[in-house]
Structure 1
Amino acid sequence: MDRISVDALEEHQLEEVRQSVRRERDIEANKALSVAIMGHTGVGKSSLLNVLFGTRFPVGDVKPATRRPQAISVPSNSGHTLTFWDMPGLGDSAEADAGYRAMYLEKLAECDVVIWAMHADSRCTDHEARCLNRLLDDAPPEEGRRIVGKLTYVLTKADLLTPPPWIFDMHGDRGTFVPSLALAGRMELKAAHVEQMVVEPWGDLLGAATYNTGDFALRDRRLDFDRQTVTYRGHFSREVCERYTAAHPEHAEVFSRLRDNHRVLPCSALFRFNLAALMVNVVGKLGPTAIFRFQRVLDDAAELAGVPVAAMREYGNFLVWDGIRGARAFDLGRLPI
């Protein structure tokens, strides 16, 4: 075979490889993505999705309202679809949990990200850990590793954490809820405890990943990178994040995004608190192209932080009744602002 024929054959083989890479890239770029929200009954999973996307999933104050998986699909700015699955709550009964476990494992396996919701005002973190253990015991070891990497942990109903007080930052007829310094510190302690009890035990299986904008080029025994992605093997704890940030402050944003993989996030559907941060965390876990594909979703979530003043008045109204005089001594709802 002459040199020209050899060169032509090699070029043909290279072109086949290029086409194969393009096909895989196109499949990855256009695939539908999905997120499931799981956890015990009554933690506010349906309420969270209703506020994020304006859906009307039934919400029950007395008994569970979600009995089967329910889906809401959200289009991206580029036409791709992101589907959120609202799952039935665990803990209603032993019989129901046995039936739900197979359903949970199926969604844990097939969804790209899983939000595990826990009640912010609960101390039963060992119960959450046991529940996850039971689910992962039913999964093959390699599948368990994949599932652990998908999990994002949130503390729902953070509005119930009072006192100390919440602050309503008012601008005209709308405002945003932010925790006071004392309350923020309390939330941080709760989140750290949940991370220690629920996230840290899976350290050997954990990994963290974020997108690479092109200027990150650090490598060590746990940290790696390519043109699109930065990865870390292990639990990217607060201490690990602070250590890397102190050594390489120019990459603080990258380390913060890696930290988001394992950060426990307090949020509130009622106060619309931290919803944008939750969506950034979820979209960041969907892969290096998702941030750009779902920018509209992130923008919509950022707009959700605003709460009308009229609604705010109903959330924390104290009415003090003077029993001696038979009259109102104080009514927040009637005070001029």
Structure 2
Amino acid sequence: MTWGERVARIDRISVDALDERQLEEVRQSVRQERDAEANKALSVAIMGQTGVGKSSLLNVLFGTRLPVGDLKPATCEPRVISIPGNSGHTLTFWDMPGIGESAGADLAYRSMYLDRLSESDVVIWAVHADSGSAAEETRRLNRILRDADPELRRQVVSKLTFVLTKADTLTPPPWIFDMRGPHGSFVPSPALAARLERRAAHVEETVVAPWCDLLRAGTYNTGEFTVSDDRLSFDRHAVRYRGHFTEQVRERYSAAHPEHAAVFSRLRDNHRVLPCSALFRFNLARLMVSVVNKLGPTAVFRFQRVLDDAAELAGVPVSAMREYGNFVVWDGVRGVRAFDLARFPL
């Protein structure tokens, strides 16, 4: 029984049925459970196919040195990173073994995957941006949830945040490096941004949309939200939506209630597929904001330090940027280097 259910139970108890000492004991128990829930450590699991860059993502986000590998899986068992929030709260990230290493490994790991999915507050499901196997992601998720009861399936699919990793592998069109002194940030060119958007929309349609009957979206309420209908509900702390919060849904609600556009944008982030790149540090700040927003009404305040740090994630030193790619044109007739991009000053 949760502390909220205990509060409701107290409301039903006749004061005459308990003496003051017994009633105070019940109230104290409720307060303790409420405080434990408010201060509990929150956890985020990162899952996905072997080789999509889950460990690389965590390394860039938190400055860790988890091993990464191109030729064989680098993560064979769950690895954990814990970071402090405000007032001693803890946010834990679980780096899970890759899915798809082999049918036998997936079968052996299925129970572990399901346990972590059910226990985590948010699950980041990573999909390689240059992969055309979005349908396979749906099959993997179906296999994991096959034996789960309907309520657990509903809880799990509502926790999922899908990201397209290694967006830097998508070229051409080119990436743009916005240089500001010794640092800068990578942004996709308009044509590449449109390409990323199409891929994200495809993954959302293929992997997210089939679960529309089970999906739920939620975000924090600053106390000013007042819109309610057959799918929207709210209380003092949270705003919730029942179903798949698509871009079309966001546009419709925002047009009808422009004063709450920020709330609808946060609800949209629950089901938006987000392209990102650990190498280019692209969209990492947006990913962290989306995760913290999805953790619940109190998480935004408990982990404000994480959000403050996230603002620095996009910065890439110019010296590092120059090592990420280069064109060398070799004149095979004359046997000389005709062009070397690295030789051009910035």
Give the TM-score taking structure 2 as reference length: 0.92
1:27 maps to 2:4: no
* Aligned counterparts of 1:297 and 1:148: Cα–Cα separation in 2: 25
Does the 8 Å CA contact 1:313/1:332 hold for their aligned counterparts? Answer: no
After superposing on structure 2, the runs of 4+ consecutive aligned residues of structure 1 that deviate more than 4 Å are 9-21
* Aligned counterparts of 2:137 and 2:38: Cα–Cα separation in 1: 34
* Residue 78 of structure 1: how far off its partner (Å): 1.7
1:142 maps to 2:151: yes
Match of 2:165 in 1: 156
> Gaps (5+ residues) in structure 1?
1-5
Match of 1:322 in 2: 331
- Aligned residue for 1:303, secondary structure, equals coil
- Aligned residue for 2:34, secondary structure, equals helix
Match of 1:108 among 113, 117, 132: 117
* Aligned counterparts of 1:213 and 1:278: Cα–Cα separation in 2: 21
* Residue 322 of structure 1: how far off its partner (Å): 1.2
- Aligned residue for 1:144, secondary structure, equals helix
Q: Deviations over 1:118-161 (max 9, x none)?
A: 00011101100100111111211111111111111000000011
* Aligned counterparts of 1:178 and 1:10: Cα–Cα separation in 2: 66
Q: Deviations over 1:235-260 (max 9, x none)?
A: 00010000000100110000000000
Match of 1:131 in 2: 140
Match of 2:86 in 1: 77
Match of 1:184 in 2: 193
1:49 maps to 2:58: yes
* Aligned counterparts of 2:169 and 2:229: Cα–Cα separation in 1: 43
* Residue 325 of structure 1: how far off its partner (Å): 2.0
Match of 2:6 in 1: none
* Residue 16 of structure 1: how far off its partner (Å): 6.3
- Aligned residue for 1:204, secondary structure, equals coil
Match of 1:3 in 2: none
1:225 maps to 2:234: yes
- Aligned residue for 2:320, secondary structure, equals helix
**Aligned residue pairs: how many?**
332
Quick one: structure 1 residues 212 and 10, their matched pair in 2 at CA, closer, same or farther if it must change by over 3 Å? farther
* Aligned counterparts of 1:14 and 1:284: Cα–Cα separation in 2: 37
**Residue type at the aligned position of 1:121:** D
Match of 1:293 among 291, 296, 302: 302
**Residue type at the aligned position of 2:47:** M
* Aligned counterparts of 2:221 and 2:345: Cα–Cα separation in 1: 50
* Aligned counterparts of 2:221 and 2:26: Cα–Cα separation in 1: 25
* Residue 91 of structure 1: how far off its partner (Å): 1.1
- Aligned residue for 1:315, secondary structure, equals coil
**Residue type at the aligned position of 2:131:** S
**Residue type at the aligned position of 2:181:** G
Percent identity among equivalent residues?
75
Match of 1:252 in 2: 261
* Residue 49 of structure 1: how far off its partner (Å): 0.2
Match of 2:247 among 238, 241, 259: 238
**Residue type at the aligned position of 1:286:** L
**Residue type at the aligned position of 1:146:** Q
* Residue 61 of structure 1: how far off its partner (Å): 1.0
* Aligned counterparts of 2:24 and 2:232: Cα–Cα separation in 1: 33
> Gaps (5+ residues) in structure 2?
1-14
Match of 1:175 in 2: 184
- Aligned residue for 1:201, secondary structure, equals helix
Match of 1:212 in 2: 221
Give the TM-score taking structure 1 as reference length: 0.95
**Residue type at the aligned position of 1:163:** P
Q: Deviations over 1:239-296 (max 9, x none)?
A: 0000000100110000000000000000000000000111111111111000111111
